[in-house]
Amino acid sequence: MRRNPKTLIGLILSLIFATEIIGNGADQTGKGKFYIVGMGTAADLITIRGVEVIKSSDIVLVASEQEKEIWRDYVKNKEVWSCPDSLRIMYGQDPRTIQNPRVREVAENAAKIRRELADRIRAAVEQGKVVAFLQGGDPMMYGQTFLLELLPKDLPSEIVPGIGALQAASAAVKMSPPYGYDTSGVILTMADWPGRVDSNEKLMASGSTMVFYTMFFDYPLVFSQLQRHYPAGTPVAVVIDAGDRATQKVVRSTVGRFLEEVDYKNFPAERHLLLVGKFLNVGQARKNGVSEIEKQHSK
C-alpha cells in the first residue's frame, strides 16, 4: 500500500510520541509476568480471566488514549504505558535496505522504539511487575503480538484470548459462518498488500465463506473481484461495532447490489467487518444432509 508524504509525517509524529513515553523500568525485585489480554469487542465482553489478570497487574499497555478511556473501569489508577499501532510499521524489514530516506527514517524510529519498549517490559517483569497489554477483540487476529517475539523466550508470558470480531459479528447476524449449505470453510482476510501471495482474488476462487477485516479496505476493488467469483445474489453483511449493544448495526445486501445500495464510504474506519457467503441465509442447512442419513440407515 502506498502512503503519501502526509501519512509518513503522521507516522513519524506518532513514533516521536511513543518515544516520549518510553521511560525508566520498575524498581521492585522478584519475578513478574507479561500478559497480552484480549478485551473483547465491547467493554462488557471481556472474559473473567482477563479481568483477573488486569486486577493483578501493576502496569497496563494500551494503543491509544481512546482505549484507555473505554477500559477506564479496569485500568483505574494503574500505571499506563503506550504502544501505538504505528509500532507495527515495517516490522521485520531491515531499515538499511530501504532506499527512500524518509521511509528509512520511519523504519529506524519504529525499530528503535519497539526495542526500547521490549527492554522496558523485560526489566519490569524481571523486577517483579505484572505487565498487561490490553487489546481490543482477540489479539490473535491482527493484534500486536510482535512484542512477544522481541522478548526473551524464557520470560514468563501468557496470552489471554478475547471475544474477537468474527465471533461478535457472527452473533450479530445470528448465523454461524461454517454452515454454508455446500461449503464449510471460512476464510479470514484483509486488504491485499504488496508482496502478498495469497491474494484475495485467489482465495475467492474457492467459493468459501469470506470474512474481511476492513483496515485500508477498498470496497469497489473487493466487490469487483467478488462479482467474478460469487453469484450476484450471494448475501453479504457489514457489521458495525460488533458486540456493542448500544451502537452495533448490521447492513445487509448482496454481492451484485452492494456498491449501488450501500453507503460504504461512511462506514466508521476499522470498526466494521464484512461477511460474505450463503451462510447468511441458509443457516445450518446442509446440501447433502438427507442423503447422508439415508446412507447410514441403508447399511
In order along its 299 residues, the chain shows pLDDT tens digits of 444 544 555 555 455 445 444 444 334 445 799 999 999 999 999 999 999 999 999 999 999 999 999 999 999 999 999 999 888 888 988 999 999 999 999 999 999 999 999 999 999 999 999 999 999 999 999 999 999 999 999 999 999 999 999 999 999 999 999 999 999 999 999 999 988 999 999 999 999 999 999 999 999 999 999 999 999 999 999 999 999 999 999 999 999 999 999 999 999 998 999 999 999 999 998 887 666 556 666 66
Using the 8-state DSSP alphabet, how is residue 150 labeled? Answer: H
Instruction: Output the CA angle 125-127-128, nearest 5 degrees.
Output: 70
CA-closest candidate to residue 84, choices 126, 21, 1: 21
Sign of CA dihedral 108, 110, 113, 119: negative
Is 288 domain-assigned?
A: no
Strand-strand pairing, 130-135 and 59-62: parallel
Is 34 domain-assigned?
A: yes
| Domain identity same for 50 and 194 | no
| Domain identity same for 10 and 103 | yes
Q: Distance (Å, rounded) from C-alpha 103 to C-alpha 98?
A: 7
Give the pLDDT score at 25.
Answer: 38
Q: How many domains does one find in the chain?
A: 2
| Whole-prediction pTM | 0.84
| Domain identity same for 157 and 256 | no
Identify the CATH number of the domain in which residue 177 sits: 3.30.950.10
Q: Which domain holds residue 100?
A: 5-163
How is residue 283 written as a grid cell? 443457516
Is 223 domain-assigned?
A: yes
Are the C-beta atoms of residues 267 and 239 closer than 8 Å to each other? no
| Domain identity same for 179 and 207 | yes
| Domain identity same for 139 and 196 | no
| Domain identity same for 87 and 230 | no
Is 298 domain-assigned?
A: no
Identify the CATH number of the domain in which residue 123 sits: 3.40.1010.10
Q: Distance (Å, rounded) from C-alpha 125 to C-alpha 244?
A: 34
Residue 186's DSSP bridge partners are: 209
